[in-house]
Amino acid sequence: MDSIIEVVRCFENSNIIHVDGVINPTNDIEIIELELIYADLETVMKRRERVKKQLKADKSLAKEDLVLEKIEKAIQEHNPDIILSVGQAGGRFDITVERVGINMDDFRIPDNEGNQVIDDPVFSDGDNAYFVKLPVKAMVQNIQKNKIPASVSYTAGTFVCNHVLYGVLYLVEKKYKGKKSGFIHIPFLPEQVVDKKNMPSMELNTIVTGLTAAIEAIVENAEDIKETGGTVC
């Protein structure tokens, strides 16, 4: 629609009765414009509700990547050489250093915001996967030297943690050449598994020691070590 033409009555005619019983063009214009405003408001509210529903189902419509936005903002502010993200993986008994992020969001359950993305790429123009260029095996070895269980992981899942892992690797590949990024999964804390029978956990002090050892390995190893760290299946 390019324009709206308002037609109001400016004449007396006993055969044509005005709805208000009086001829007042100025008042008629105000009523018409108020009705148009209400109609526009109703359209906006319906659109808002529709978009809210779409945002929960379709990540591509949302400026949803608030975590990635915050990480990128931190990259721009601090200009780090290394970006290391940490997430929690309930059910894992050791500290796991991720080696690869895949371009797939497939949420088994909704995230904390109620969004559940299914079979969508993290970035439509990204590669199928990006490998971490940090010395992941050296990181695992240094954690183990502190008598802390650790291993290389070849799957960060398809939930929020993989979204962050892949997303930051994508940003590094596309916009921040020369930087390196990685991701470490930690187990639950003991207080998180009080009501979860047989669920593994790790003390916070132990986790902090392990993460510190991983960072030390990053600083001390420009290249990764040649060490077995793969999995059979």
Per-residue pLDDT of 56-80, as tens digits, reads: 555 544 544 678 889 999 999 999 9
pLDDT of residue 213: 98
Domain with CATH 3.40.630.20 in the chain: 67-220
Q: Which residues are catalytic?
A: 98, 161, 185
**Which of 43-47, 115-119, 143-147 has the lowest average pLDDT?**
43-47
| Global confidence as pTM | 0.69
CB 182 within 8 A of CB 134: yes
> Kind of pairing, strands 150-153 and 95-98?
parallel
**Which of 100-104, 116-120, 122-126, 212-216 has the lowest average pLDDT?**
116-120
CATH of domain 67-220: 3.40.630.20
Count of CB atoms within 10 A of residue 218's CB? 19
Residue 8 has pLDDT above 90, yes or no: no
Residue 180: is it exposed, middle or buried by C-beta count within 10 angstroms (0-12/13-18/19+)?
Answer: middle
Residue 49 has pLDDT above 60, yes or no: no
CB 60 within 8 A of CB 156: no
Q: In this predicted model, which residue has the larger pLDDT, 124 or 192?
A: 192
Residue 17 has pLDDT above 70, yes or no: yes
Cα 228 to the center of its chain, rounded Å: 33
pLDDT of residue 137: 97
Per-residue pLDDT of 91-109, as tens digits, reads: 999 999 999 999 988 877 7
pLDDT of residue 122: 87
Per-residue pLDDT of 125-183, as tens digits, reads: 899 999 999 999 999 999 999 999 999 999 998 888 999 999 999 999 999 999 999 99
pLDDT of residue 119: 79
